Chains A and B, each alone.
Chain A
Amino acid sequence: MAKYILKRFLWMIPILLCVIIVVFTVMYFTPGDPAMAILGNSYTPESYEAKVRELGLDKPYIVQLGNYLINIVTKFDFGKSYMNNRSVTTQILERLQPTLIIGAVSVLLSQLIAIPVGITAATHHGKIQDYTVSSLCIILAAIPGFLLAVFLMLLFCLKLNWLPAAGITNWYGYILPIVCSIFGPLVSSCRMTRSSMLEVIRKDYIRTARAKGVSEHDVIHKHALKNALIPVLTMLGMHLGGAMGGSILVETIFTVPGLGILMKNAIYNLDYPVVEGCVIFVSFIMSLLMLLTDLAYAAVDPRVRDQITGGGKKKRRKKAAQSMEGIAA
Chain B
Amino acid sequence: MKKYLALFLALVMVFACTACTNTGGNAGTTSRTLTIGTNNDVTIPFDNTNATNVNGLGLCYDRLTYLDPYTGERVSNVLDDWYYEDNLHLVLEIKDGVTFTDGTALTGEDLIYTYSDEVARGGNNANNLSNFDWDNATVSADGLTVTIPTFEEYAPGIVSLNSWIENKAFDDVHSVDDEIWWDTVQGTGPYYCVEQVGGAYSTYALRDNYWGSEEYEFDTITFKYYSDLTALFIDYENGAIDVALNIGSYNYEQITSGNAKDTIAKLEGDGNPISLCLDYSRVEAWNNPLVRQAVAYAIDVDSLGVAGFEGLYKNNGSVIPETASYYEYVGEYEFNLDKARALLAEAGYADGFSFTLLTYEKYEDMAVALQDMLKQIGITVELDLGQFMPQLKRMLAGEADAIFLNGTTDNNGEPSLAYNKFITPTDNVPAASVLDAGWNALIASSYSLDAAAREKVVHEIQESFYENVWQVALLEKCEAWCYYDNVLSADFEAYVGGVPTFRVLK
A237-264 contact mask (Cβ, 8 Å, vs B): 1 or 0:
0000000000000011111011001100
Q: How far is the CA of A132 from the CA of B231 in the complex (A)?
A: 34
**CB <8 Å contact, B428 and A166:** no
Residue of A nearest to B427 (CB): A44
**CB <8 Å contact, A166 and B19:** no
Contact for A165 among B1, B47, B198, B240, CB less than 8 A: B240
**CB <8 Å contact, A169 and B228:** no
Chain B residues closer than 8 Å to A157, beta-carbon distance: 22, 231, 234-235, 238
A40-51 contact mask (Cβ, 8 Å, vs B): 1 or 0:
011111110010
For window 195-209 of chain B, which residues contact chain A by CB distance below 8 Å? 197-201
B147-188 contact mask (Cβ, 8 Å, vs A): 1 or 0:
000000000000000000000000000001101001000000
Known: A167-B23, A173-B23. A84 touches B44 (CB 8 A): yes
Known: A165-B231, A167-B200. A116 touches B19 (CB 8 A): no
Known: A84-B45, A85-B177, A255-B226. A168 touches B238 (CB 8 A): no
**CB <8 Å contact, A95 and B198:** yes
Known: A164-B22, A169-B23. A32 touches B226 (CB 8 A): no
Query: Is A158 an interface residue, CB under 8 A from the partner?
Result: yes
Q: How many A-B residue pairs have CB under 8 A?
A: 125
**CB <8 Å contact, A261 and B227:** yes
Q: How far is the CA of A183 from the CA of B287 in the complex (A)?
A: 64
Q: Nearest chain A CB to B391's CB is how many angstroms away?
A: 11
Query: Is A163 an interface residue, CB under 8 A from the partner?
Result: yes
Known: A84-B44, A253-B231, A255-B225. A162 touches B389 (CB 8 A): no
Centre residue among B197, B199, B234 by max chain A CB count within 10 A:
B199
Q: How far is the CA of A157 from the CA of B182 in the complex (A)?
A: 32
Residue of B nearest to A36 (CB): B389
**CB <8 Å contact, A37 and B389:** yes
Query: Is B250 an interface residue, CB under 8 A from the partner?
Result: no
For the residues of B in contact with A, the DSSP-based class is: loop
**CB <8 Å contact, A252 and B227:** yes
Known: A163-B22, A255-B228. A94 touches B45 (CB 8 A): no
Residue of B nearest to A33 (CB): B389
Chain B residues closer than 8 Å to A47, beta-carbon distance: 122
Query: Is A195 an interface residue, CB under 8 A from the partner?
Result: no
Query: Is B453 an interface residue, CB under 8 A from the partner?
Result: no
Q: How far is the CA of A154 from the CA of B278 in the complex (A)?
A: 48
Query: Is B259 an interface residue, CB under 8 A from the partner?
Result: no
Known: A153-B230, A255-B225, A257-B197. A172 touches B47 (CB 8 A): no
Known: A33-B389, A169-B201, A257-B200. A80 touches B19 (CB 8 A): no
Known: A46-B122, A86-B179, A261-B199. A150 touches B230 (CB 8 A): yes
Contact for A85 among B23, B45, B272, CB less than 8 A: B45
Query: Is A91 an interface residue, CB under 8 A from the partner?
Result: yes
**CB <8 Å contact, A164 and B235:** yes
Residue of B nearest to A157 (CB): B234
Query: Is B91 an interface residue, CB under 8 A from the partner?
Result: no
Q: How far is the CA of A36 from the CA of B395 in the complex (A)?
A: 14
Contact for A86 among B45, B122, B201, B406, CB less than 8 A: B45
**CB <8 Å contact, A44 and B199:** no
B217-233 contact mask (Cβ, 8 Å, vs A): 1 or 0:
00000001111101110
**CB <8 Å contact, A257 and B389:** no
Contact for A166 among B44, B49, B231, CB less than 8 A: B231
**CB <8 Å contact, A162 and B23:** no
Query: Is A67 an interface residue, CB under 8 A from the partner?
Result: no
Q: How far is the CA of A161 from the CA of B239 in the complex (A)?
A: 10
Q: How far is the CA of A262 from the CA of B43 in the complex (A)?
A: 12
Residue of B nearest to A42 (CB): B124
Q: Nearest chain B CB to A127's CB is how many angstroms away?
A: 14
**CB <8 Å contact, A43 and B392:** yes
Chain B residues closer than 8 Å to A257, beta-carbon distance: 197-200, 225
Residue of A nearest to B177 (CB): A85
Query: Is B328 an interface residue, CB under 8 A from the partner?
Result: no
Known: A44-B428, A255-B225. A158 touches B23 (CB 8 A): no
Centre residue among B23, B179, B197 by max chain A CB count within 10 A:
B23
For window 82-133 of chain A, which residues contact chain B by CB distance below 8 Å? 84-87, 90-91, 94-95, 113, 116, 120
**Can you report 11 A-B residue pairs in the complex whose CB atoms are below 8 A from each other?**
A47-B122, A80-B177, A84-B44, A85-B177, A86-B45, A86-B179, A94-B197, A157-B235, A161-B21, A166-B224, A253-B228
Taking beta carbons and an 8 Å cutoff, which residues of A are in contact with B?
Answer: 32-33, 36-37, 41-47, 50, 80, 84-87, 90-91, 94-95, 113, 116, 120, 150, 153-154, 157-158, 161-170, 172-173, 175, 251-255, 257-258, 261-262, 265
Known contacts A158-B237, A161-B22, A173-B23, then 11 further A-B pairs from the complex at CB < 8 Å, ordered by chain A residue: A36-B393, A42-B124, A46-B122, A50-B122, A86-B45, A86-B182, A172-B22, A251-B227, A252-B227, A255-B228, A262-B199
Taking beta carbons and an 8 Å cutoff, which residues of B are in contact with A?
Answer: 1, 4, 15-16, 19-24, 41, 44-45, 47, 49, 122, 124, 176-177, 179, 182, 197-201, 224-228, 230-232, 234-235, 237-238, 240, 272, 389, 392-393, 396, 406, 408, 410, 427-428
